[in-house]
Amino acid sequence: MKKSDNQNSRRSFLRKAVLGTAAVTSVPMVVSGSYKQRILLESRSYEAANFAANDNINLALIGTGIQGIWDTTSALRVPGVKLVATCDLYSGRLDRAKELWGNDIFTTRDYREILERKDVDAVIIATPDHWHKQISIEALNAGKAVYCEKPMVQNFDEGHELIEAYQKSGKVMQVGSQGMSSLGNEKAKKLYEDGAIGEIVILDMYNDRYSSEGAWNYPIPPDANPDTVDFDTFLGNAPKVPYELKRFFRWRNYKDYGTGVAGDLFVHAFSTLNFVISSNGPNRALATGGLRYWDDGRDVPDVSITLYDYPETPTHAAFNASFRVNFIAGSGEAGGFRLVGTEGAMHVGSQSVRLIRTKLGMKPNEYALIAHTEENQKKIVAAYDKKFADERSKDLNIGETNWEAPSDYKGGHYDHFNNFFKGIRGEKKIIEDPIFGLRAAGAALLANESYYKGQPVKWDPDTMKLI
């Protein structure tokens, strides 16, 4: 962001903060020139709509596993959406689909049967990562709108092929980083653009887990066998290996089918970060980590730390980002996403934003003064007091504000699907199209590229290609 633009935004924010502090709460807890306040985010309005049966968007789910079911559950809360078909390579999940959504839905093990159906308008693709590109392209070519789970692709080159198919098809496509459309992201973006944290300096993201399920060791059903699980089709273009249920039900643990912690978790943070600061992404990454505990046959690390460099652009200063995931966090489960700037910090979640503005210490304290004579100490203190005489007025703009979603908020997952379906109806622009999706996935996948190569890697965020 240009300094002149940033200064204008900063002045705008400070004016609003000073006026808003008293107006928001009757007792803003002003202590020693600082404030602490809680503000409800403005409730999002959802138009009440009744759709005739022939106006429904007919939806199909391809990949009826954990995320596919959560996705579909959220999607069906949006008015005017009907589920007509599901697909999965394990027959137990098709039985589960009928338990959840009725015996009249069509079920199949072959996704191509879904794409051939004339009554399907849109598909959710919630398969293992290595199937995302192929099914997305075939769905677009079949004239379907596509909601593809993150990461959009398993490797860099696949992204450009998918973008080309998307642009040729003229159909709507949304990439599924569920927090993208949330009230939290929307507020964080506005605060950043208003100069609330000054110039961004660091992004700090972490995700600590302390459970077998958190480490992707999902339960294997007792009726799973070669008759109920189509393992050969699951492999697709991945290397051929003997039948193994762990690979099918815990595919995230293997780089042949998934993208590790980077593609599963980093990509959410990159989606939010790039959205909030209007960025195309980083240009360099350096990763380290290892398999520290879950030595269960997986070939991806369970601890990963990656440092990213973001170049200066018209919307942000050059800064650094730290991404950390730990699947054996003895400290307990926790997570965070924090933007730190020259004048403050924002903790961003899908339903809340916490803004902290603190005072920059410009005067020396006892630690530095101890090396000077008492006479010189008095002179140094007097000189600093004179130089920073207006400090009290700046103190009035420090404190903490917590914006929280109202109790009736339907959530970021709902909002992301609402955006998708409004896009299909031509009522709204898609918030995470495949170009945005590749920039988020590409940035995340740099962590894997660096980790397996054992060296830093460079990326062009504009052309979305490795350098």
Copy the structure tokens of residue 410.
Answer: 């339907």
Report the DSSP pairing between strands 465-466 and 81-87: unpaired
Helix (H) or strand (E) holding 288, with range, is strand 284-290
Copy the structure tokens of residue 231.
Answer: 């393992």
Per-residue pLDDT of the chain (467 residues; tens, 9 = 90+): 555 566 566 555 655 554 344 334 333 444 445 789 999 998 888 877 778 778 999 999 999 999 999 999 999 999 999 999 999 999 999 999 999 999 999 999 999 999 999 999 999 999 999 999 999 999 999 999 999 999 999 999 899 999 999 999 999 999 998 889 999 999 999 999 999 999 999 999 999 999 999 999 999 999 999 999 999 999 999 999 999 999 999 999 999 999 999 999 999 999 999 999 999 999 999 999 999 999 999 999 999 999 999 999 999 999 999 999 999 999 999 999 999 999 999 999 999 999 999 888 889 999 999 999 999 999 999 999 898 877 655 555 789 999 999 999 999 999 999 999 999 999 989 999 999 999 999 999 999 999 999 999 999 999 999 99
CA-closest candidate to residue 190, choices 312, 51, 20 = 20
Residue entry with tokens 């920039």? 439
Structure confidence at residue 358 (pLDDT) = 87
As a whole number of angstroms, the distance between CA 230 and CA 213 comes to 24
As a whole number of angstroms, the distance between CA 66 and CA 31 comes to 48
In order of start, what are the domains of the chain with their CATH numbers?
Answer: 3-44+185-229+256-409+433-466 (3.30.360.10)
Tell me, rounded to whole angstroms, the distance of Cα 102 from its chain centroid.
Answer: 32
pTM, full prediction: 0.91
Specify the long-range contacts of residues 25-32, CB closer than 8 Å, at least 24 apart: 30/399, 32/395
Copy the structure tokens of residue 183.
Answer: 């009230």
DSSP string, 306-364: EEEEE--BTTB--EEEEEEEESS-TT--EEEEEEEESS-EEEE-SSEEEEEE-----S-
Q: Which class for 366: exposed (0-12), middle (13-18), buried (19 or more C-beta within 10 A)? A: exposed
Structure confidence at residue 3 (pLDDT) = 57
Q: Can you say whether the dihedral through the CA atoms of 273, 279, 280, 285 is positive or negative? A: negative
Contact 208, 333 (CB under 8 A): yes
Q: How many CB atoms lie within 10 A of CB 84?
A: 18
